[in-house]
Amino acid sequence: MHASLSDIVADIAANSIEAGASNIRVSVVDENGTIELKVEDNGKGMPPEIVARAFDPFYTEPGKHDKRKVGMGLPFVKQTCDACGGSVKLESRQGVGTTIVCTFQADNIDLPPMGSLPQAVLSLFNFGGDFDLVFIHRKNGSGYEISRLELMDAVGGFDSVEGLSLAREFLEGQEESL
């Protein structure tokens, strides 16, 4: 399984980018003893037969990798949710998009640490393409929301190390203020 919840965020939201989504919304809400992670996208979606197999570690999207027979992304998510008294729900419609909602009990002893959300979000923002990704983090009444395209505009793009450093400084500042 992944070492931190932010690894899970980075992993499942990357699926949305790979699914060709132009709008992605990722939220992490830590309130009332439950952590909810939700990723919604308007990507290509999946037909019911693929949704049915999405949590099977010995299934991967055909054509993605020639000889590879495993796909660990969603199975890792399910493993963590199951271990932490939570659940995972996947809804997808072909040509419309996909939504995945994962919950974890915040005080569960098996809950992985949150890890660095700024690192996770920045690595997602830094994928190529002109998609927008809105990241929302809410924790006990306070929170922040940031759009990839707005941040990209503010720092002058993520093509440069300066832009990436500024963006990381921004994200870390937002996290610290929670």
Partner 1 sequence: MAKLTLADLRKMREEKQKALDMRDSSNKDVQVVVGMGTCGIAAGAKETFTALIDTLSEKGLTNVLVRQTGCMGLCHSEPTVEVVVPGMPTVIYGHVDAATAKDIVAKHIVGHELIEGKILDKPSVDIVKNA
Binders in 95-124 for partner 1, by CB under 8 A: 115-116, 119-120, 122-124
Kindly tell me which of 81 and 155 has the beta carbon lying closer to partner 1: 155
Shortest approach of partner 1 to residue 152 CB, angstroms?
11
Give yes or no for residue 69 binding partner 1 (CB under 8 A). Answer: no
Alpha carbon distances (Å) from 161 to 25, 98, 156, 165, 166: 25, 32, 11, 6, 9
Q: Return the range that interacts with partner 1 (CB under 8 A); candidates 37-45, 69-77, 80-88, 100-108.
A: 69-77
Binders in 141-170 for partner 1, by CB under 8 A: 150-151, 154-156, 159-170
- Plot region of 72 (φ>0 → left; ψ -120 to 50 → alpha; else → beta): alpha
Shortest approach of partner 1 to residue 103 CB, angstroms?
21
Shortest approach of partner 1 to residue 66 CB, angstroms?
4
Binders in 23-52 for partner 1, by CB under 8 A: none
Q: Please tell me whether residue 138 adopts helix, strand or coil conformation.
A: strand
| Token pair of 52 as six digits | 């049915």
Residues binding partner 1: number (CB under 8 A) = 48
What lies within 8 Å, CB to CB, of 55 at 6+ separation is: 74, 75, 78, 88, 90
How far apart, in whole angstroms, are the C-alpha atoms of residue 166 and residue 4? Answer: 24
Angle at 56 between CA 131 and CA 45, to 5 degrees: 30
How far apart, in whole angstroms, are the C-alpha atoms of residue 163 and residue 143? Answer: 23
Which of 36, 38, 50, 73 is the binder for partner 1 (CB under 8 A)? 73
Shortest approach of partner 1 to residue 143 CB, angstroms?
12
What lies within 8 Å, CB to CB, of 117 at 6+ separation is: 6, 9, 28, 137, 171, 175
The residues binding partner 1 (CB under 8 A) are: 2-3, 6-7, 10-11, 14, 18, 65-68, 71-73, 76, 115-116, 119-120, 122-124, 126-128, 150-151, 154-156, 159-170, 172-174, 176-177
